[in-house]
């Protein structure tokens, strides 16, 4: 007999195991087996920033054992430190390990203190001091080279928070000037740069991404990291509609639960998102990259959440497809867009960036 999938405690029922509840739209009996995948399945990964208490090799082995397709590798002091000596040699070792485990990879650059031990995510691309901006640029170029050596499908980055006393036009000018050499490196190495709209940052929304995209003339190697939780947090469209709107530029996807107006990454079932139409919309785009679980504040229970997250996502994707087929529908019903909170305002931390 196939063992029962592991489920979050708040999705279990005494009579029969259930997935989710009414707010997640997954209050159905758990399947005896994982739903069969279609011809173009979504490919799920888990972020190492949610496994920070594990050695990198242990984290990769865990994800492979659990059945993940890949990993969102955040370059940090404990995981392929981008600032330590022998980066190229260490990267080659990680590449061999990924290949042996059958894991794909996206390189992420959201480490909190990898450049400055006293300033979260500092320095940024928006800092007043050109030397500080150059340090962030150097990190991103290193990340591009690491990604090329790993065979990663994208490099993730974000803008940073507008420094106090800096006007918006100046901040945008610094961002575009800082990203120019990074985009050149991405182009030269054939690795897309996937910029993430981040609540509280200068580039906080999909509209902001399009402003940047237009600045660079819709450059081929400038793409988007779409965080599904961020869509729930502050975008004017529901998350599934955000996926459809962003489809032409999707290069990387992050996923977690979240509540409206509160930038706090939550395990699945603890927020407000119905993941069935979101995953259906994502599958319909033909997106071929990784969809990476992003729980950076849950490393204390990282293996536990990694074990729960994959069957949740697989079941949500399979259940929605089955329901639509049974109902004879080929697309989700239209949604009424919620009212968006003020631009960039929601945040669970004063810094306003990924917790």
The confidence score (pLDDT) of residue 144 equals 98
Task: Assess whether pLDDT exceeds 60 at residue 123.
Answer: yes
Q: Which of 24-28, 60-64, 120-124 has the lowest mean pLDDT?
A: 24-28
Alpha-carbon distances of 2 from 30, 31, 33, rounded to whole Å? 12, 10, 7
Model pLDDT for residues 189-242, shown as the tens digit of each residue:
999 999 999 999 999 999 999 999 999 999 999 999 999 999 999 999 999 999
For 57-115, write each residue's pLDDT tens digit.
999 999 999 999 999 999 999 999 999 999 999 999 999 999 999 999 999 999 999 99
pLDDT tier at 330 (50, 70, 90 boundaries)? low
In whole angstroms, what is the distance from residue 218 CA to residue 21 CA? 41
Q: Is the pLDDT of residue 5 over 90?
A: no
Place 319 in a pLDDT band, splitting at 50, 70 and 90.
confident
| Locus of tokens 């074990």 | 307
As a whole number, mean pLDDT of residues 152-160 equals: 98
Written in H, E and C, the secondary structure of the chain is: CCCCCCCCHHHCCCCCCEECCCCCCCEEECCCCCCCCCCCCCEEEEEHHHCCCCCHHHHHHHHHHHCCCEEEEECECCECCCCCCCHHHHHHHHHHHHHHHCCEEEEECCCCCCCCCCCCCCCCCCCCCHHHHHHHHHHHHHHHHHHHHHCCCCEEECCCCCCCCCCHHHHHHHHHHHHHHHHHHHHHHCCCEEECCCCCCCCCCHHHHHHHHHHCCCCCCEEEEEEHHHHHHHCCCCHHHHHHHHHHHEEEEEECEEECCEEEEECCCCCCCCHHHHHHHHHHHCCCCEEEECCCCCHHHHHHHHHHHHHHHHHHHHHHHHHHHHHCCCCCCCCCCCCCCCCCCCCCCCCCCCC
Distance of CA 283 to the CA centre of its chain: 16
pLDDT at 185 over 90: yes
CB contact set of 304 (below 8 Å; sequence gap of 6+)? none
Higher pLDDT, residue 328 or 151:
151
Is the per-residue pLDDT at 33 higher than 60? no
pLDDT at 326: 73
Q: What is the mean pLDDT of the chain?
A: 86
What is the mean predicted confidence (pLDDT) over 273-296?
96
Residue 23: predicted pLDDT: 44
How far apart are the C-alpha atoms of 335 and 238, rounded to whole Å? 7
Name the pTM for this structure: 0.84
* pLDDT per position as a tens digit, 234-269: 999 999 999 999 999 999 999 999 999 999 999 999
pLDDT of residue 346: 37
Quote the pLDDT of residue 41.
81
Q: In percent, how much of the chain has pLDDT > 70?
A: 79
Would you place residue 321 in the very low, low, confident or very high pLDDT band (cuts 50, 70, 90)? Answer: low
């Amino acid at each position: 007999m196939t063992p029962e999938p592991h489920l979050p405690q708040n999705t279990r029922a005494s009579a029969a195991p259930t997935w989710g509840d009414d707010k997640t739209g997954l209050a159905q009996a758990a399947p005896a087996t994982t739903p069969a995948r279609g011809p173009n399945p979504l490919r799920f990964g888990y972020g190492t920033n949610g496994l920070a208490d594990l050695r990198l090799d242990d984290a990769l082995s865990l994800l492979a054992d659990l059945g993940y397709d890949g990993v969102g590798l955040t370059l940090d002091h404990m995981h392929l430190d981008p600032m330590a000596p022998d980066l190229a040699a260490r990267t080659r070792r990680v590449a061999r390990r990924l290949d042996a485990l059958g894991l794909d990879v996206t390189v992420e650059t959201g480490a909190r203190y990898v450049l400055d031990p006293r300033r979260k995510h500092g320095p940024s691309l928006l800092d007043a001091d050109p030397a500080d901006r150059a340090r962030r640029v150097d990190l991103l170029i290193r990340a591009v080279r690491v990604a090329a050596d790993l065979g990663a499908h994208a490099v993730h980055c974000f803008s940073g928070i507008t420094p106090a006393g800096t006007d918006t036009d100046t901040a945008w000018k610094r961002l575009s000037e800082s990203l120019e050499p990074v985009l050149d490196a991405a182009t030269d190495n054939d690795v897309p740069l996937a910029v993430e709209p981040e609540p509280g940052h200068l580039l906080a929304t999909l509209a902001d991404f399009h402003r940047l995209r237009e600045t660079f003339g819709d450059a081929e190697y400038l793409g988007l990291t779409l965080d599904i939780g961020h869509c729930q947090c502050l975008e004017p469209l529901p998350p599934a509609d955000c996926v459809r709107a962003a489809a032409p530029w999707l290069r990387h996807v992050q996923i977690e639960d979240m509540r409206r107006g509160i930038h706090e990454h939550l395990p699945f079932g603890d927020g407000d998102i119905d993941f069935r139409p979101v995953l259906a919309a994502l599958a319909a785009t033909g997106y071929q990259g990784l969809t990476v679980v992003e729980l950076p504040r849950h490393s204390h229970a990282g293996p536990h959440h990694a074990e729960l997250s994959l069957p949740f996502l697989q079941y949500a994707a399979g259940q929605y497809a089955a329901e639509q087929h049974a109902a004879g529908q080929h697309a989700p019903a239209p949604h009424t867009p919620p009212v968006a909170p003020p631009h960039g305002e929601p945040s669970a931390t004063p810094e306003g960036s990924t917790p």
